[in-house]
A = this chain, B = another copy of it.
Amino acid sequence: MPRSGDSLFQLTPKEGEPKHSKVAIMSRSSNGVVQALLTDLYQITMAYAYWKSGKMDDISVFDLYFRRNPFQGEFTIFAGLEECIKLMQSFHFSESDIEYLKTVLPSKTDPKFYDYLASLSANDITLSAVPEGEVVFPKVPLITITGPLAVVQLLETPLLNLVNYASLVATNAARFRMAAGPETTLLEFGLRRAQGPDGGLSASRYCYLGGFDGTSNVLAGKMFGIPVKGTHAHAYVTSYITLEDLKIKTLTSLDGSSEFNFIDLCLKYQKELAGVIGFLPDQVMAGELAAFISYAQAFPEGFLALIDTYDVLKSGLPNFCTVAMALNDLGYQAQGIRLDSGDLSYLSNEVKARFVKVANHYSLPWFEKLTIVASNDINEDTIHSLNQQGHSINCYGIGTHLVTCQKQPALGCVFKLVQINKKARIKLSEDVDKVTIPGMKNVYRLYGADGTALVDLLQDSSEVPPKQGDRVLCRHPIQESKRAYVIPASVRALHEIWWHNGKVMKPLPTLTELREKTKQSLRTIRQDHKRALNPTPYKVSVSSSLYTFIHELWLESAPIGELF
C-alpha cells in the first residue's frame, strides 16, 4: 500500500509505488449497498479532527439540496432515496477498511481513533426526506440528516453520489417523456455509453422511474424487473451474404398445422410487393433478406427488423415487407421496423406511407399500425424538432444523450451544515445564491383548488404549519421586496422520516410505485414550469419568521467590511 499518510496534501514524491491491486472492483458490498469507504478522504480526516477535539458527537443537522434545476429547466425529479436508506442500514467500516486507513492517515494518528471508526454505525442518524419520485426545486432540502457530526460528515459523499446522478437522469428521462408525449414508447439503450457497468445499471433504473417504458439492459431487467426490449444489430444483417447462407428453409405456421418453404414464400412476395410499394428487386440486398428471414424464423411472433443497413427505401423496407407478408400467410403478425440513421422525419413518413399501401392492398389494417422505432443519437431537442417537422415514429430507443445527460452531465447537489448543538449555522458566500438557509426546517407544498402546486414554503421547525384556507405570507429567502400572500386549498408536509433509531420507518415503495409517483407528482406542476423553452421558475419561499432569522444570522456571521 502507498503511504501517503504523512503528507495528506503533499506535492513531493509518493512513498512506495501505488500497488496495483488485484482485488475486485466493487463499489458495493455483497448485499449491493455502497461501501462506507466510498467517501472522500477529507471526511475521514475531518472525523479524526472532530474525534481528537471531542466534537465528534456534536448533534448536527445537514441539508442535502441543489441550487439550480438541470437542463435549463425549472423542475427536477428526486431519486436515489432508497439507496440512501439502504446505506444507513449497512454503514460500517470493515476490518480491512481500517487496516487500509492506517496506511493513509499519518503515522502519529491516535490508534484509539481506529477503534472509534470500527464502532460506528448509522443507528444514531435520523434521515428525513422528500419522497422519492417527487418533483423538487432548488434550495428545498431533499434530505435532512441529523446525528453525530463525524458520522454525518462521513455520509456526505456517498449520499451525494447516490442522489446526484439518480435525480439527474430521472429528470432527463422525464423531459424526454414530456417531449415524446404519453403515447410513444421510450426505451433506454444507454448501457454501452454509460459510466461503466454500474453507471449503466443506475441509468436503466432511474430512467424507468422517470417515465421510460423499458431498457435494453438485461441485467437491469433481472435486478429491477424493468421490461427489457431489443431486436438485432447491423452486424446481424451483414453477417449474411446471400440466401444460400440460410441453412433452414422452412417455417411452421402459427397454428402448427403445416410447414412452409419460407424462402420461396418470401421470394413470391418480393415480386408482388415490388409493384405494390415500388422497388426494384435487383436493388434489394440478398444478404439483408436472408438475415430478416432467419430472424423471422427465430422470432415469428416478434419480428422487428433494423432496415437501414444498406438503403432504407430501396432494400431494407422492401425486405421487411416481404418477410412480414410471408409471415402473415403463416398466421403471424410482424411487429415493425427500426431506423438507426438518416432523416428520421422523412424516412419514418415514407415507411408509414408504404405500410399504408400494403395495408390497403392486402386489406390488412394492422399493417399500417406497425411499430416504427427510431434510435439514432436522439436527444430531447431532436424529439421536439421531429414533432415540429412531422413524423411517424411511435417508439424511441435512446442511449448516449439520455444516460450521459449530455446537456448537463451533473446535478450540483450539495450537503451543508445548517445546525450544530441546536445552534443554527449559516454558510455565507459572495454569491448570494450560495448562502445556506440555516436551522432545522420543515418544508410545505401549498396547492391551489385544482390540485396544482403553488409554492414551496420553508419554515423553522418550531413554527406552526400553514393551514388550508389561511393567508400565508411567502417571502423570497434573500430579496426583501419579493413576497406574496398565498391562500392554499391544501397543504402537504414534504418531508417524512425514513430512518430513525437504526430502523427503516416506512415501507419503501417498489420501482413501479416510484414511477407512478413521478407521473402523479409531475401532474401537479403547472405546464409553464415544465415546458422546454423558457419555463417559468417555480417559487420556493420562506416564512416571515425564517426570513428575519436568516438575515439576523447573516449579519452576525459576516465580518464588518469597509465602506461599500
Is A225 interfacial (CB 8 A cutoff)?
yes
Q: Is A484 an interface residue (CB 8 A)?
A: no
Q: Is A536 an interface residue (CB 8 A)?
A: no
CB neighbours (8 Å) of A19 from chain B are 225, 510
Nearest-neighbour CB distance to chain B for A352, whole angstroms, equals 15
Could you say which residues of chain B place their CB within 8 Å of the CB of A232?
A: 42, 45-46, 49
> A223 CA to B413 CA in the complex, in Å?
26
Question: Does the CB pair A295–B49 fall under 8 Å?
Answer: yes
- B24/A239 in contact, CB under 8 A: no
Q: Decide yes or no whether A202 CB sits under 8 A from chain B.
A: yes
Query: A25 at interface (Cβ–Cβ under 8 A)?
Result: yes
| Known interface pairs A18-B224, A218-B44, A298-B48; A62-B235 also in contact (CB < 8 Å) | yes
| A228: contacting residue among B41, B224, B284, CB under 8 A | B41
Report the contact-size class of chain A (Cβ under 8 Å from the partner).
35 or more
Q: Is the CB of B559 within 8 A of A25?
A: no
Contact B404 A409 (CB under 8 A): yes
With A18-B224, A239-B417 as given contacts, are A161 and B230 in contact (CB-CB < 8 Å)? no
Residues of chain B contacted by A106 (CB below 8 angstroms): 299, 301-302
Q: Let me know if A423 and B165 touch, CB within 8 A.
A: no
| Contact A247 B4, beta carbon cutoff 8 Å | no
Please tell me if A226 contacts chain B, counting CB pairs below 8 Å.
yes
What copy number does this chain have within its complex? Answer: 2
A335 touches B8 (CB 8 A): yes
* B18 and A227 form a contact (CB under 8 A): yes
Collect the chain B residues with CB atoms within 8 Å of residue A213's CB: 14
Q: Which residues of B contact A295 (CB under 8 A)?
A: 49
Which of A34, A235, A311 has the largest count of B CB atoms less than 10 A from its CB? A235
Contacts of A9 in B (CB 8 A): 229-231, 302, 304, 335-336, 371, 373, 395
Contact of A409 among B8, B60, B405 (CB under 8 A): B405
Residue of B nearest to A41 (CB): B230
- Residue of B whose beta carbon sits closest to that of A302: B8
Q: Which of A86-128 contact B (CB under 8 A)?
A: 96-97, 100-101, 104, 106, 108
Which residues of B have CB within 8 Å of A162? 196-197
Sample of 29 A–B contacts (CB below 8 Å): A2-B226, A4-B221, A8-B229, A9-B229, A9-B302, A10-B335, A20-B509, A20-B512, A21-B224, A24-B33, A25-B32, A27-B200, A34-B197, A39-B219, A41-B230, A48-B298, A52-B248, A52-B294, A53-B298, A58-B239, A149-B239, A153-B235, A161-B193, A161-B196, A196-B202, A198-B198, A235-B416, A341-B429, A405-B409
